[in-house]
Structure 1
Amino acid sequence: MVKDQIYKELRRSIIKGYLKPGERLDIVKLTKHYETSITPLRDAISLLSQEGLVTIKPRRGYFVCQITVHQLIDLFEVREILETASIQRAVGRITDEQIEQLTHDYTGYDDDSYDRYIDENRRFHCLIAKATGNEELVQMMGRVHDLLARFMFLVFRQTVKTQDKTHTCIIEALQARDEEAVLKAIIDEIRTTRDFVIARVMEEQGDSWQIGNFETSKLKNLEIKIPIVNSLQ
């Protein structure tokens, strides 16, 4: 239980930006803060490392993972590929009961509901992936959402209202078994969120995120090519 508590609190601190990219985790201070031994702390950090939130450097210590803008774009590209494959396979398979569950897993949010938002948004997209019957796809979908979670915090207030509308469109299109409409809604959501995130990262945390000479204007010409795979009925 101690390990789980430490894991949740450190994860929240990284996602919310209290622990900055590249920041070293002081093991001595953390053991004193949590009033615990080093073993559960290391176990918690190991879980964070598996999620891509912490880097373990031999003989140097533990550090909050850094990422370049190009790597961030790659993550959004991976998400778009996974979401597209998920929709193409799920639209002909998803049941009315599963669609009904989607309507209950995405509700209104306010400025203080980020934690609930990130959990329910992840569950929403994983539920669609689950309708494909491919558990590996579900696991991969969850992982990419976990990796993007700390960036979503930067744009929570800007995107939450538009995503609420987008998810409603997705549900309605799934009810109609309209693959084209679902794909459009998903891709619009991902690309709009991507542009918001990268703009905020560059504006507020350029040095920490290793921005380099990347320019937001390049996003206008950025098109992610998604291989279209025939849906499996």
Structure 2
Amino acid sequence: MQSQANSNPDLPRQLPPVERQRLHDTVVNHLRTLIIEGALEPGRKLNERELSETLGISRTPLREALKVLAAEGLVEISPNRGASVARLSATEIRDTFELLSNLEAFSGELACERITAVELAELKALHYAMLACRAHEDLPGYYRLNHQIHDRINLAARNAALRQTYLSVNRRLQALRFRSNYRKPKWDSAIHDHEEMLAALEARDGKRMAAILRQHLLDKRDAVLLMQAGVGGEADGAPQA
């Protein structure tokens, strides 16, 4: 007699994909973090054998993960050279940040109309947690919270088409946003921008919010371009994202 578990025709088909999906997501997230935080630097060739051994996985889930990251613009895959961490040109950086600045500005304007009191309170909590990371010079923690703030502003816009475009464009810049360092006056300016964002959201001032976010991202563009050109260095540096 067939067991009760096997009598459900959906059960055998559902369980294995769930497990594979967990592994897939774990590998993608881990590699994405390594790239964003600079452990895998731009231009570095990704050796499948070494990565498979380091992560304790076979090459099949690794290759699937690399394809996902390639679609996000974090990895480049060449038929002859294999996979490597993507490196954006100055023109690509300029163009992408200019586009992102307007996407974030539009998100902010819509968020001022649509954000709830609960969502605004959550943003304030994230902001204070981000300041704590700054005080402890915790760059990974700072970046993760900063990323959540920008992401939640975009979510508060409640525009599905904008959401998908924003995610696609922002993914290409995550590694640059993490690694770029400003001197302390620039970092303080970025913190001030975030405080101004919260004030604009609380006042429901969409035009002001859009202007803050647009300039915030353009300033970030300029910092990244200077970093790429080797200007400014990392002395007295602090994250600004």
Q: Could you tell me the TM-score, scaled by structure 2's length?
A: 0.75
2:102 aligned with 1:77:
no
Q: 2:178 aligns with which of 120, 141, 153?
A: 153
Q: Which residue of 2 aligns with 1:189?
A: 216
Q: 1:51 aligns with which of 64, 68, 72?
A: 72
Aligned-residue sequence identity (percent) comes to 28
Q: 1:116 to 1:137 in 2, by over 3 A?
A: farther
Contact 2:75/2:85 (8 A) holds in 1: yes
Give the Cα–Cα distance (whole angstroms) in 2 for the partners of residues 94 and 3 of structure 1. 33
Amino acid at match of 1:144: V
- Structure 1: unaligned runs, 5 residues or longer: 205-233
Give the deviation of 1:73 after TM superposition.
0.5
- Structure 2: unaligned runs, 5 residues or longer: 1-21, 232-241
Q: Which residue of 1 aligns with 2:38?
A: 17
Contact 1:118/1:149 (8 A) holds in 2: no
Give the Cα–Cα distance (whole angstroms) in 2 for the partners of residues 82 and 142 of structure 1. 10
* 1:40-119 pair list within 5 angstroms: 40-106=61-127, 107-108=130-131, 109-110=133-134, 112-119=137-144
Alignment length (residue pairs): 204
Higher helix fraction (1 or 2): 2
Classify the secondary structure of the residue corresponding to 2:173. Answer: helix
Q: 1:134 aligns with which of 134, 155, 159?
A: 159
Give the RMSD, CA atoms, in angstroms: 2.3
Structure 1 segments (4+ residues) deviating >6 Å: none
| Worse-matched range after superposition: 71-80 or 104-113 | 104-113
Give the Cα–Cα distance (whole angstroms) in 2 for the partners of residues 193 and 68 of structure 1. 16
Give the Cα–Cα distance (whole angstroms) in 1 for the partners of residues 111 and 37 of structure 2. 32
Classify the secondary structure of the residue corresponding to 2:172. Answer: helix
Contact 2:105/2:209 (8 A) holds in 1: no
The structure number with the bigger radius of gyration is 2
